[in-house]
Structure 1
């Protein structure tokens, strides 16, 4: 059972998300918070598998709360749940250590899949967020430059490393990749470390973005 801390200042949102997660049969909401400071305190007290945080909350916003939880509760994965997908929010959330970014307007399956992915050590971007990250805010020439650079970086990987990167991009955890590729988990862990090192990225989310930009994974929505 995946233990989840849910933080949102709207009680109806918390009720709806809790119902979706409970209905999955995979998750248990062990604590709820209405502001960022309470979320940090409850994360430290309950040490859940996943902290699912709204971005705009009183006292301490979700972005700052995410950074504090990542710093003080390293065993807890953080995913952001929001109606907002502006570039600044996405960039800060990911740079602050969040490994998931989910939209409240997304399909309930995305919520369940995202929580499952980050709990298992994977990364998950809502398809709309993934498309935004890849295509946002810059001129077409800039986007093409990024795509060309990503393809060049990926071309330096071995076929197996590219295969692993593509699966990282879909949000799979190491055990799930191992099962998909019929490898032992330790081998997959070594491949993921090698891929991060060769791509020059810090974490699985950044690797996933490279996978999207290189065309290994195709955002939908």
Structure 2
């Protein structure tokens, strides 16, 4: 991901602010993730991403969420990257589950992505809903997005 791509992303965002931009990136490079997010990119997926994860990312970006693979989202933490969020009352696992939920992933897809049992995903989701006062998992994800926690 060179400077030309980032300049183009930044120019598109400046010209059409409502346009969501998703980039594919090889490797897990925290500095590149931070630069991409600073350029206005809303989603980043690894080049080896499967179709279901790519579709979930596109749905998340279309819904106005910053969406990326958990392996890349960890890179963004602590970089002052929009969407990485300030300190939150959510655990890392809760943030991961809610970020994938906001991206449109099902419980089964989240479980596969995070290498968890579906029951564990439901338990983490339930704890997130209680912490945030949400009505359901999607409402909890919306609250977390609005607060800038995911």
Query: Deviating runs (4+, > 6 A) in structure 1?
Result: none
Residues matched between the structures, number: 111
Please report the RMSD computed on the Cα atoms of aligned residues, expressed in angstroms: 3.6
CA 89–182 in structure 1, closer or farther in 2 if over 3 Å, else same? closer
Equivalence for 2:4: 61
On the 8 A contact 2:23/2:43 being kept in 1, the answer is yes
On the 8 A contact 1:85/1:129 being kept in 2, the answer is yes
- TM-score, reference length from structure 1: 0.40
Equivalence for 1:115: 58
1:126 aligns to 2:69 (yes or no): yes
Render the CA deviation track for 1:83-132: whole Å, top value 9, x for unaligned. 24322211111112111111111222211111111011122111221243
Structure 1 Cα separation of the partners of residues 138 and 33 of structure 2: 34
Equivalence for 1:204: none
Unaligned runs of 5+ in 2: 79-85, 104-128
On the 8 A contact 1:122/1:171 being kept in 2, the answer is no
Equivalence for 2:88: 154
Unaligned runs of 5+ in 1: 1-54, 136-149, 158-162, 197-206, 209-221
- Alignment partner of 1:80: what SS? strand
Whichever of the two has the greater Rg, that structure is 1
Equivalence for 2:102: 172
- TM-score, reference length from structure 2: 0.56
On the 8 A contact 2:22/2:41 being kept in 1, the answer is yes
Q: 2:37 aligns with which of 84, 94, 115?
A: 94
By percentage of residues, which structure has more strand? 1
